[in-house]
Amino acid sequence: MLRRTTALLACGALSASLLGATATTTEAAPQVAQRHSPPKNPVAVGRGGAVSSVDPDASQVGLDVLARGGNAVDAAVATAAALGVTEPFSAGIGGGGYFVYRDGRTGEVNTIDGRETAPAAMEHDAFIDPATGQPYPFTPQLVTSGVSVGVPGTAATWSKALRRWGTFSLSDALTPAARLARRGFVVDPTFRLQTKENALRFRTFEPTFDLYLDHGLPVVGSRFRNPDLARTYERLGRRGVGWLYRGRLGREIAANVQDPPLSGRTDLPAPPGSMTTADLAGYRALVQAPTHVDYRGYDVYGMAPSSSGGTTVGESLDILEQFDLSGMRRRDVLHHYLEATALAFADRAEYVGDPAYVDVPTDDLLSDGFAAERACRIDPDHAAAKPVPPGDVTSYDGDCATGGRDLAGTERPDTENLSTTHLAVVDRWGNAVSYTLTIEQTGGSGIVVPGRGFLLNNELTDFTAVYDPDDPNRIEPGKRPRSSMSPTIVTRDGRPVLVIGSPGGSTIITTVLQVLLNRLDLGMSLPDAIAAPRASQRNTSTVTAEQAFIDQWGTKLGRYGHQFTVAGPPGSSSAEIGAVEAIEIGPHGRLTAAAEPTRRGGGAAYVLRPTLSR
């Protein structure tokens, strides 16, 4: 396809209010943006292409790109940029993420590691309070700082994805999001709640206060505009990502990390970080092969390290494949699911980190022999005491009788936060993108770059705070902190079947896995698989679960010895686990786009040519 230019935008393919449409007898024409936010449809069925994200404006932007002839990569970048407008506390060019792409023509799957990196001058004890010798309190002190900010990778990811697989220029892909930022979006209860929960941190920095709190908490139903971000997107599109990594925008980012723009309204210390323009100039988004496991005839592709998502989801599936889940009662399936993830998380903590700094035994972690041996540790009637030790990747033969040996493991704290966002796109050519992006904590570091309209991340808090030379996630200059982001693409017999992912910190892994089990093993429809209550066992003494899961399964699973902790207080953003966005590709190109019906306010799933009757 020829690369489209900005002239295409001006020639009538897209009006200022985006596209218009009319309905046909059996299928509707492309869904269109309206003056107000589009509806939050959690499910859409049809053909021609699909987009699923947590936000209707962002999903609409992606759908409009598909309607204009853009491919899945073009739509994914445009949707991600729009999420930087409407979900600014979860994503944006101040952060990073992981991009999984399947080529519809060749079937080849590739990924981009756009994870943030530590500055070259970052010290091993950067998170230790010298006055006490103990880690700084995580929230709000540690995250609300320059020291928590990693070199952002999102813009580099967008540029690399478009150059390799897209058809739009960066300017074309960012134009709809710039228009959305200038026009504004309708504030929903989730945006107001997230602003309220971060009010103390946002008051700490003058530009953040000015953008989000200058007129008090945003009112539900009002329109929130961000003209600074609109101008930033426009300049980034015109000048390219060199403006961020080697130009003026990069100098401004480094300056505000080194000298956070304090307002004096709070007493949060907000210690400065060490990021320099050289750190930005040296950043690279990495194209790399995906992880791959074969699960009951399905090929499951995920994100390789520095993310732990692909290895931990994959190992969990390999362990569960040793059992006939289809012949079990539902509670037995859930017991095996919880036990399998505990084992995989033990191995994650022991072995997975940035492969540029750690020798990650990915092939061993995803081998059938290792999984068979780990599966031997699951008692069908009793939950093991947690934490369970990791397996020994240097000594296994897949035989329960001879067995390998477990190592003497210790429970390592996991500070990965719950806020992130995800999107899924499939186009009419069969290209597919699963993309998870983040600024880490809800609201990131809390630092808005003055006059630029975006928040900087706090991704470096994903490192283990206390330096341990044996910890694969220890702090190292230039290193990428371990992530749990798990963008996933599933195929069968060479055909795409599912595109899926979720936010949620380390619960991302269990969320993606649980939805896969619900759909592939338990036979739920994709919407039902997403809506089902969730629980997350990450090799901890208790299982973190949504209240609905505890109400339904707590007593039955308690008989195995599982103990449960509620995910968060009712009404808080932490009470829910994950926020899945997914697309299923059925026979004859039939697409089912699905998003959360209620979690995080509900998502928005659209198809280009909706089928009016199923």
CA end-to-end distance (rounded Å), the chain: 33
Query: What are the CA-CA distances from residue 110 to residues 147, 245, 304, 424, 479 (Å)?
Result: 32, 24, 10, 15, 22
| CA pair distance 614, 610, nearest whole angstrom | 10
Based on the residue annotation, tell me whether 420 is a catalytic residue of this protein: yes
Kindly state the helix (H) or strand (E) to which residue 79 belongs, with its residue range.
helix 72-86
Quick check: 112 and 160 in contact, CB under 8 A?
yes
Output the DSSP codes for 144-190.
SSSTTPPBP-HHHHHHHHHHHH-SB-HHHHHHHHHHHHHH-EE--HH
| CA pair distance 165, 541, nearest whole angstrom | 44
Closest by CA to 344, choosing from 296, 402, 291, 298, is 291
Question: What 3-state DSSP class applies to 195?
Answer: helix
Amino acid letter for position 539? N
Kindly state the helix (H) or strand (E) to which residue 85 belongs, with its residue range.
helix 72-86
Handedness of CA 543, 549, 555, 559 (dihedral sign): negative
Residue among 208, 420, 507, 511 flagged as catalytic:
420
Spatial CB neighbours of 138, under 8 Å, sequence gap ≥ 6: 415, 461, 465
| CA pair distance 514, 505, nearest whole angstrom | 15
Backbone torsions φ then ψ of 176, nearest 5 degrees = -60, -40
Closest by CA to 457, choosing from 102, 113, 150, is 150
| CA pair distance 113, 306, nearest whole angstrom | 7
Torsion angle defined by CA atoms of residues 515, 607, 46 and 101, in that order, rounded to the nearest 10 degrees: -60
Which residues are catalytically annotated? 420
